[in-house]
Amino acid sequence: MKFRRLLIIASLVAAAFLLTTSAVSYSPEVNAQDTKTDSNTTGYPTGAKCPKTGTYKATNGKIEIILMVEAGKAFPPHSDGSKTIWYPVKDTN
């Protein structure tokens, strides 16, 4: 009976280790994506007036939208119609 418990615990620990290491392997890609937005600025909600003409991005967790918005125009809703937050995209030049 003790051997069976030990076997179950060992397999759970091994599964947890494998799941953790696969999640860690994606972290450099996420960090690379985060550098594309200007981290010193705040986002603008749907319907707010754009303060400066530029490129902005928004995501709903599944789809990321990047578009050009003119100063004074309202930020549109996401493609699925939901309200979202628009973040300025860093200029790569």
pLDDT tens digits, residue range 20-47? 554 444 433 333 344 454 455 678 999 9
The mean pLDDT value for 38-58 works out to: 84
Residue 83: what residue type? K
User: What is the count of structural domains for the chain?
Assistant: 2
Residues in the chain: 93
pLDDT at 61 over 90: no
Whether residue 14 is found in the same domain as residue 48: no
Domain that holds residue 4: 1-35
- Top mean pLDDT of 2-16, 28-42, 59-73 is at 59-73
Whether residue 53 is found in the same domain as residue 90: yes
Q: How far apart are the first and last CA of the chain?
A: 66
Whether residue 43 is found in the same domain as residue 81: yes
Whether residue 47 is found in the same domain as residue 91: yes
Whether residue 92 is found in the same domain as residue 56: yes
Whether residue 62 is found in the same domain as residue 81: yes
DSSP assigned state of 81: S
pTM of the model: 0.54
Whether residue 14 is found in the same domain as residue 55: no
- pLDDT at residue 20, as a whole number: 59
Q: Which of 60, 63, 75, 68 is nearest to 89 (CA)?
A: 68
DSSP E strands: which ranges in the chain? 44-45, 54-59, 64-69, 85-88
Whether residue 74 is found in the same domain as residue 91: yes
Beta bridge partners of 89: 37
Residue with the bigger pLDDT between 9 and 32: it is 9
Whether residue 5 is found in the same domain as residue 28: yes
